[in-house]
């Protein structure tokens, strides 16, 4: 494994070549704000909050750290005036873009961004187009139920062709990953509703307690995935997380008693 | 027609000799421009008329009719050139053809009325090579564009085509080829001006198979048609360059990325690929060697951002055309994650020339750090709209005045924008700037892919910045915050200034945001999006201030800030403005009574000012 030396904020360390600068810096205890980054996903480089100042030879420039592989001869600073100014402007632009995004508001406050000098672009909007929902759906869930459409300032997130889509299994991964909480999901009378995706899916009832807990389509998707791995006769069962936890606890309890 | 495959390099030379031997140099040939501009001007119908008339007169066997690619002098289309005499006829219609055949093919006269008349001297010029538009150019890449029939590979071979490929395959090692391209100083013609040889070398040295060689024919700059004309008019020159490059890099497959708005380019490339494959200069075991290279056409949907290298590769892969960070170069991880080398159409077309004529010859053209020629599409307020090829280092003045014939109606020059929508606008005192990659960048513009837009004194520079920023805001892919949100805010400020709502502090904010967008965007679109604004702020700041402080648009373009008045002393009461006014706001203008504008009715559209023959209408 290629180990190379690099310097971040004046501290020299040895790291594996091609590791992401953001991750290395965070491991060193350096704080770098991010909004479009998630450790389960490949770097994307959209929010531009993670900017750092990089020097190589006689060149110095600003660049994002989430998608910067550490290579020979790089010196990185995360706290220069140029870095701070760039982060503040990014937040100012995002605040005007998505005035309802609480996460952005808090970050802006921390960094001391004033209220934006631009008019609000959308009323009551919290989406900053970070793309985490789009990427988690594709990469982790293995579906393409939520995607970008249009270009430039018309860019938006929604279901394919703006219609309710069979791709959506109602797994809520997009809801959970969204940094600004702008995708709503609720379970009502045995139905999971995600209005932004025009999704309405029937929930399956737990075999044990009888309460509805997860979309039938999601369970089918998981079953199919598990069968790919464990063979065609694998049965996942239809037990809600609460009951499953209780069953496991009971089993553990039994084992513990046996061992004494 | 069954085509004999050439299975050894020598066979190519022999085949060419046989083509040359069987052709008769003295045989009359009618070269009709089949470029898109001339087609719009009826070029195809002119071609049909020639075939018909020649048939009627029993001349079909004796005279060749050849549809070629763009000749470049689009302003004067449809163009017809008669060989061997080299006569040029302009604005030819099918009705003119009988007379041309009778006078200049059957006889040896000239149809005077169809010759080119130089606007400045009003002199008629009969021979193509004497027309200043052509005489002042140096055509290296475009040399065969108006000569060969792009749909017939034999034309290209007869002109020496694929000779460089044979030379490369037989006499040069891949490293030697890369070495030659490096020493030639060839820099990418797609905008960045990156050293081509160096790029090839890193793709050659990269580990991983397969390797890809790509051609960027996206050409998203509005008003630009350099690459289009090369792909339409001489597609084999691009293919030959790509095959040589692939051999040097060690790639066995590639794509040509062309936008769907270029149907003729796609059609001619497709024909060229088929013919080249049949001839054995493309595909498996090229010219009998053990080198194979296959190329496919990938059609884009016409987004400006898809010309950016990583977005282009995403688009070929079938994904959304969005750029990604290039900390890891595409020569290492490009298309489908494999080592990839991307070059622009014109860059590829330079390659056979360098291999053929040699590094020494090539480096004798151009400036110290920009070698060879550059093709520009010259548009805007210019007499000779068209496609021009000039040596690097030529001045803007020479291009605009000697080749372009200056500004129509003798109006004053105001600015020229080089580099497409994200280029900068340069003022009059820069006219003597030598045009090369570094000089243009130094003054805040860029070479770009070669768009050149000339503007006269009736152009408002704030409005120009607003216009291009609007284009870029729409064409931003929307992925990263600086480009999507920042360019929008730049546009909003420019829009408010042109609408008369600007404040002085807006100009400072505008500059601040420009700097942020330039330094923080993912790709070249955002990094250069501030150029139109920053360059006009640098060279035409007074005009911004006039809009904000004096509430006046000095050029008389921004409607909210313009009042037109007619100078009574200058007005000759000719009535031209009355006819031009769409809202009947002008009265008088006859019987020696000067015209007068009713300001309540006037919509400040400026039609009267353009119509006035005496410059009597002022702001
Ligand atoms: C927004 C944007 C649009 C571009 N459009 C084109 C284009 O239309 N044609 C082109 O050849 N290069 C274009 N480029 C440049 C390419 O990214 C790339 O640098 C070029 O194709 C490399 O080839 P070259 O080295 O031969 O110039 C564009 C770049 C950006 C940032
Ligand atoms: S975290 Fe790096 S750009 Fe968003």
Report DSSP letters for B216-258, one per residue.
EE---STT--HHHHHHHH-HHHHHHHHHHHHHHHT--EEEEEE
- Is there a contact between A16 and A2 (Cβ–Cβ < 8 Å)? yes
**Which CATH number fits the domain that encloses residue B443?**
3.10.20.600
Inspect the interface and report whether the beta carbons of A94 and B473 lie closer than 8 Å.
no
B7 contacts chain A (CB < 8 A): no
B3 lies in some domain: no
Inspect the interface and report whether the beta carbons of B484 and A153 lie closer than 8 Å.
yes
For residue B199, the CA-to-ligand 2 centroid distance in Å is 28
A87 contacts chain B (CB < 8 A): no
Q: Which residues of B touch A89 (CB under 8 A)?
A: 486, 512-513, 516, 520
B472 lies in some domain: yes
Distances (CA, A) of A92 to A44, A53, B523: 21, 20, 21
B333 contacts chain A (CB < 8 A): no
Three-state secondary structure of B403-461: HCCCCHHHCCEEEEEECHHHCCEEEHHHCCCECCHHHHHHCCCCCCCCEEEEEECCCCH
Q: Which residues of B touch A134 (CB under 8 A)?
A: none
Judgement on whether residues B446 and B476 belong to the same structural domain of the protein: no
- Is there a contact between B348 and B245 (Cβ–Cβ < 8 Å)? yes
Q: Tell me the shortest Cα–Cα distance from A98 to chain B, in angstroms.
A: 11
Site to probe by mutation for ligand 2, drawn from A38, A42, A64, A76 as the one with most ligand atoms within 8 Å of Cβ, is A64
**Which CATH number fits the domain that encloses residue B579?**
3.30.70.20
Q: Tell me the shortest Cα–Cα distance from B193 to chain A, in angstroms.
A: 19
Give me A9's structure tokens: 């904020």
Judgement on whether residues B301 and B196 belong to the same structural domain of the protein: yes
Angle between helices B174-184 and B345-357 (to 10 degrees): 100
Cα B567 to Cα B594: distance, rounded to the nearest angstrom: 8
For atom 23 of ligand 1, which residue has the closest CA?
A: B343
pLDDT at A88: 96
- Is there a contact between B436 and B370 (Cβ–Cβ < 8 Å)? yes
Which atom of ligand 2 approaches the CA of A43 most closely?
A: 2
A134 contacts chain B (CB < 8 A): no
Judgement on whether residues B586 and B538 belong to the same structural domain of the protein: no
Cα B530 to Cα B303: distance, rounded to the nearest angstrom: 19
Judgement on whether residues B313 and B354 belong to the same structural domain of the protein: yes
User: Phi and psi dihedrals of B558, rounded to 5?
Assistant: -70, 115
Q: Tell me the shortest Cα–Cα distance from A20 to chain B, in angstroms.
A: 11
CB within 8 A of A69, min separation 6: which ones? A17, A18, A19, A20, A21, B327, B328
Q: Which residues pair with B470 in a beta bridge?
A: none
Cα A17 to Cα A9: distance, rounded to the nearest angstrom: 18
Q: Tell me the shortest Cα–Cα distance from B442 to chain A, in angstroms.
A: 17
Q: What's the total number of domains in chain B?
A: 5
Q: Could you tell me which chain B residue has the CA closest to the CA of A98?
A: B485
Owner of token pair 């290492």? B332
For residue B560, the CA-to-ligand 2 centroid distance in Å is 42
For residue A46, the CA-to-ligand 2 centroid distance in Å is 6
Judgement on whether residues B212 and B166 belong to the same structural domain of the protein: yes
Cα B366 to Cα B351: distance, rounded to the nearest angstrom: 16
**Beta-carbon count within 10 A of B130 CB:** 13
Q: Tell me the shortest Cα–Cα distance from A80 to chain B, in angstroms.
A: 14
Inspect the interface and report whether the beta carbons of A45 and B482 lie closer than 8 Å.
no
B252 lies in some domain: yes
pLDDT at B496: 97
Pick the closest to residue B89 from B48, B120, B46 (CA basis): B46
**Which CATH number fits the domain that encloses residue B233?**
3.40.50.11540
Q: Round the CA-based radius of gyration of chain B to a whole number and report it.
A: 26
Domain boundary among B549, B577, B610: B549
Q: Is the CB of A37 under 6 A from ligand 2?
A: yes
Judgement on whether residues B164 and B73 belong to the same structural domain of the protein: no
Distances (CA, A) of B54 to A245, B61, B115, B232, B290: 92, 9, 21, 26, 47
Q: Which CATH number fits domain A1-123: 3.40.47.10, 3.90.79.10, 3.40.50.720, 3.10.20.740?
A: 3.10.20.740
Inspect the interface and report whether the beta carbons of A86 and B486 lie closer than 8 Å.
no
pLDDT per residue rounded down to tens, chain A (260 residues): 689 999 999 999 999 999 999 999 999 999 999 999 999 999 999 999 999 999 999 999 999 999 999 999 999 999 999 999 999 999 999 999 998 899 999 999 999 987 899 999 876 689 999 999 999 999 999 999 999 999 999 999 999 999 999 999 999 999 999 999 999 999 999 999 999 999 999 999 999 999 999 999 999 999 999 999 998 888 878 999 999 999 999 999 998 888 87
| A35-62: burial string, b at 16+ Cβ within 10 Å, e else | bbbbeebebbbbbbbbbbbbeeeeeeeb
pLDDT at B2: 64
Distances (CA, A) of B24 to B20, B128, B222, B496: 8, 21, 42, 65
For residue A250, the CA-to-ligand 1 centroid distance in Å is 64
Pick the closest to residue B595 from B579, B571, B614 (CA basis): B571
Top residue of B311, B320, B327, B522 to mutate, by most chain A CBs within 10 Å, is B327
Which helix (H) or strand (E) element contains residue B39?
helix B36-40
B596 lies in some domain: yes
Inspect the interface and report whether the beta carbons of A151 and B477 lie closer than 8 Å.
yes
Q: Is the CB of B192 under 6 A from ligand 1?
A: yes
Pick the closest to residue B311 from B335, B341, B338, B332 (CA basis): B335
Domain boundary among B407, B440, B456: B456
Owner of token pair 């909004």? A35
B523 contacts chain A (CB < 8 A): no
Judgement on whether residues B209 and B100 belong to the same structural domain of the protein: no
- Measure the N-to-C terminal CA separation of chain B; round to a whole number of Å: 67
**Which CATH number fits the domain that encloses residue B530?**
1.20.1440.230
Q: Is the CB of B344 under 6 A from ligand 1?
A: yes
User: Phi and psi dihedrals of B550, rounded to 5?
Assistant: -90, -5
Q: Is the CB of B309 under 6 A from ligand 1?
A: yes
Judgement on whether residues B215 and B350 belong to the same structural domain of the protein: yes
Q: Tell me the shortest Cα–Cα distance from B292 to chain A, in angstroms.
A: 34
Pick the closest to residue B311 from B199, B216, B213 (CA basis): B216
Give me B13's structure tokens: 């030379």
A159 contacts chain B (CB < 8 A): no
Inspect the interface and report whether the beta carbons of A128 and B480 lie closer than 8 Å.
no
Site to probe by mutation for ligand 1, drawn from B190, B203, B479, B523 as the one with most ligand atoms within 8 Å of Cβ, is B190
B338 lies in some domain: yes
Q: What is the pTM of this model?
A: 0.93
Residues of chain B with pLDDT under 50: none
Which atom of ligand 2 approaches the CA of A51 most closely?
A: 2
Instruction: Tell which B residues from 288 to 307 touch A, by Cβ distance under 8 Å.
Output: 303, 305
B332 lies in some domain: yes
pLDDT at B102: 95
For residue B298, the CA-to-ligand 2 centroid distance in Å is 31
Q: Which residues of B touch A151 (CB under 8 A)?
A: 303, 305, 474-478
pLDDT at B301: 92
Judgement on whether residues B514 and B589 belong to the same structural domain of the protein: no
B432 lies in some domain: yes
Domain boundary among B312, B333, B362: B362
B318 contacts chain A (CB < 8 A): no
Judgement on whether residues B466 and B450 belong to the same structural domain of the protein: no
- Is there a contact between B394 and B415 (Cβ–Cβ < 8 Å)? no
Q: Could you tell me which chain B residue has the CA closest to the CA of A129?
A: B479
Sequence spans of domains, chain A: 1-123, 132-248
DSSP B514-537: HHHHHHH-SSHHHHHTTHHHHHHH
Q: Please give the residue range of the domain that contains residue B601.
A: 563-618
Q: Round the CA-based radius of gyration of chain A to a whole number and report it.
A: 23
Look at residue A82 and give its three-state secondary structure: helix
pLDDT at A211: 94
Q: Is the CB of B305 under 6 A from ligand 1?
A: yes
Give me B540's structure tokens: 């035409």
Distances (CA, A) of A201 to A157, A192, A210, A221, A243: 20, 5, 17, 13, 22
- State CA A196 to chain mean position distance: 17
B232 lies in some domain: yes
Distances (CA, A) of B523 to A139, B51, B309: 24, 50, 9
**Which CATH number fits the domain that encloses residue B54?**
3.40.30.10
Judgement on whether residues B262 and B358 belong to the same structural domain of the protein: yes
Inspect the interface and report whether the beta carbons of A148 and B320 lie closer than 8 Å.
yes
Judgement on whether residues B342 and B257 belong to the same structural domain of the protein: yes
- Our CA angle for B275, B279, B284, nearest 5°, is 100
């Amino acid at each position: 494994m290629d180990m190379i030396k690099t310097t971040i904020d004046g501290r020299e360390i040895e790291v594996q070549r091609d590791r992401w600068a953001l991750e290395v810096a965070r491991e060193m205890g350096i704080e770098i704000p991010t909004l479009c980054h998630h450790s389960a996903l490949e770097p994307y480089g959209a929010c531009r909050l993670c900017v750092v100042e990089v020097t190589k030879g006689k060149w110095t420039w600003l660049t994002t750290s989430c998608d910067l592989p550490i290579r020979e001869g790089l010196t990185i600073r995360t706290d220069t005036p140029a870095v701070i100014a760039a982060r503040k402007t990014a937040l100012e632009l995002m605040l005007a873009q998505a005035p309802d995004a609480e996460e952005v508001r808090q970050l802006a406050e921390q960094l001391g961004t004033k209220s934006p000098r631009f008019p609000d672009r959308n009323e009551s909007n919290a989406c900053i187009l970070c793309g985490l929902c789009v990427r988690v759906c594709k990469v982790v869930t293995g579906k393409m139920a939520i995607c970008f459409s249009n270009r430039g300032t018309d860019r938006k997130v929604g279901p394919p062709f703006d219609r309710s889509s069979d791709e959506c299994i109602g797994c809520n991964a997009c809801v959970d990953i969204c940094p600004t909480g702008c995708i709503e999901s609720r379970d009502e009378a045995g139905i999971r509703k995600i209005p932004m995706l025009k999704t309405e899916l029937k929930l399956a009832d737990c075999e044990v307690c009888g309460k509805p807990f997860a979309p039938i389509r999601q369970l089918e998707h998981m079953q199919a995935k598990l069968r790919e791995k464990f063979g065609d006769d694998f049965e996942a069962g239809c037990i809600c997380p609460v009951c499953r936890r209780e069953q496991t606890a009971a089993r553990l309890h039994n084992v513990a008693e046996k061992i004494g | 027609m069954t085509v004999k495959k050439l299975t050894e390099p020598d066979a190519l030379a022999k085949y060419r000799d046989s083509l040359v031997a069987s052709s008769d140099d003295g045989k009359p040939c009618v070269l009709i421009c089949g470029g898109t501009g001339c087609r719009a001007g009826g070029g195809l119908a002119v071609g049909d008329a020639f075939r018909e008339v020649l048939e009627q007169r029993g001349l079909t066997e004796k005279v060749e009719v050849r549809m070629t690619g763009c000749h470049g002098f689009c302003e004067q289309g449809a163009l017809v050139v008669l060989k061997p005499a080299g006569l040029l006829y302009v604005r030819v219609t099918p009705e003119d053809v009988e007379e041309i055949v009778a006078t200049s093919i059957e006889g040896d006269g000239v149809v005077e009325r169809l010759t080119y008349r130089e606007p400045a001297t009003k002199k008629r010029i009969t021979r193509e090579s004497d027309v200043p538009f052509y005489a002042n150019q140096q055509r290296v890449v475009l040399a065969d564009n108006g000569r060969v029939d792009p749909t017939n590979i034999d034309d290209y071979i007869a002109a020496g085509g694929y000779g460089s490929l044979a030379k490369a395959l037989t006499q040069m090692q891949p490293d030697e080829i890369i070495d030659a391209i490096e020493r030639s100083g060839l820099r990418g013609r797609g905008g960045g001006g990156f050293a081509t040889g160096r790029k090839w070398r890193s793709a050659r040295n990269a580990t991983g198979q397969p390797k890809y060689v790509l051609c960027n024919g996206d050409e998203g700059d509005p008003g630009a048609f350099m690459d289009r004309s090369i792909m339409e008019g001489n597609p084999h020159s691009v293919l030959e360059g790509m095959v040589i490059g692939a051999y040097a890099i060690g790639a066995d497959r590639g794509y040509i990325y062309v936008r769907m708005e270029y149907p003729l380019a796609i059609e001619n490339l497709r024909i060229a690929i088929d013919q080249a494959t049949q001839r054995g200069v493309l595909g498996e075991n090229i010219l009998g060697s053990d080198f194979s290279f296959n190329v496919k056409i990938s059609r884009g949907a016409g987004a400006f951002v898809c010309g950016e290298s990583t977005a282009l590769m995403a688009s070929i892969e079938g994904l959304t055309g969005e750029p990604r960070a290039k900390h890891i170069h595409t020569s290492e991880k490009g298309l489908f994650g494999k080592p990839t080398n991307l070059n622009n159409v014109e860059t590829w077309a330079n390659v056979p020339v360098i291999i053929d004529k040699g590094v020494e010859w090539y480096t004798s053209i151009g400036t110290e750090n920009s070698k060879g020629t550059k093709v520009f599409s010259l548009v805007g307020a210019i007499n000779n709209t068209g496609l021009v090829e000039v040596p690097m280092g030529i001045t803007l003045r020479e291009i605009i005045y000697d080749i372009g014939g200056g500004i129509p109606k003798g109006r004053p020059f105001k600015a020229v924008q080089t580099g497409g929508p994200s280029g900068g606008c340069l003022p009059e005192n820069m006219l003597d700037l030598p045009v090369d990659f570094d000089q243009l960048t130094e003054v805040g513009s860029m070479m770009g892919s070669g768009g050149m837009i000339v503007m006269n004194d009736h152009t408002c520079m704030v409005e120009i910045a607003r216009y291009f920023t609007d284009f870029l805001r729409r064409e931003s892919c929307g992925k990263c915050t600086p480009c999507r949100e920042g360019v929008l805010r730049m546009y909003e400020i420019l829009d408010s200034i042109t609408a008369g709502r600007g404040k002085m502090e807006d100009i400072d904010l505008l500059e601040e945001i420009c700097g942020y967008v330039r330094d923080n965007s993912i790709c070249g679109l955002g990094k250069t999006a501030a150029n139109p604004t920053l360059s006009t702020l640098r060279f035409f700041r007074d005009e911004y201030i006039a809009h904000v402080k004096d509430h006046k648009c000095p050029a008389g373009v921004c409607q909210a800030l313009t009042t037109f008045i007619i100078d009574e002393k200058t007005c000759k009461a000719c009535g031209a403005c009355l006819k031009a006014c769409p809202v009947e706001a002008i009265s008088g203008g006859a019987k020696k009574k000067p015209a007068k504008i009713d300001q309540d009715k006037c919509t400040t559209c400026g039609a009267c000012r353009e119509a006035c023959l005496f410059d009597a209408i002022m702001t």
